[in-house]
A = this chain, B = another copy of it.
Amino acid sequence: MPKPRSKPPSKEKTQIAFGAAVRARREALEMTQERLAELAELHTNYVSSVERGERNIGLHNVARLAYALDLPVSELASCLDPRAH
């Protein structure tokens, strides 16, 4: 019997976990939301709504934020890995 696949996090948990990961990295870099938005070529309001876990962010914007945060996309996405949530 193949081991049952674990379930993906809910949409809400996905958004909250990703927002927290973005904020943690941004703060670790002592970067303002404005600066991150500028580097990622996104609006500041958008970045803050992502950090608050209010956005089901598209993959392209995930990549833009990861590059702006100087992180591999995989590392930023690891907040959604099975053991992480």
**A62 engages B59 (CB within 8 Å):** yes
Residues of B within 8 A of A62 (CB): 59, 62, 77, 80
**B74 engages A78 (CB within 8 Å):** yes
**A80 engages B63 (CB within 8 Å):** yes
Shortest C-beta distance, A24 to chain B (Å), equals 16
**B18 engages A67 (CB within 8 Å):** no
Whether a CB of chain B sits under 8 angstroms from the CB of A73 is yes
Find the B residue at minimum CB distance from A69: B5
- Can you list 10 contacts pairing A with B, beta carbon distance less than 8 Å? A5-B39, A5-B70, A7-B67, A8-B60, A15-B59, A18-B59, A62-B62, A63-B80, A67-B82, A74-B78
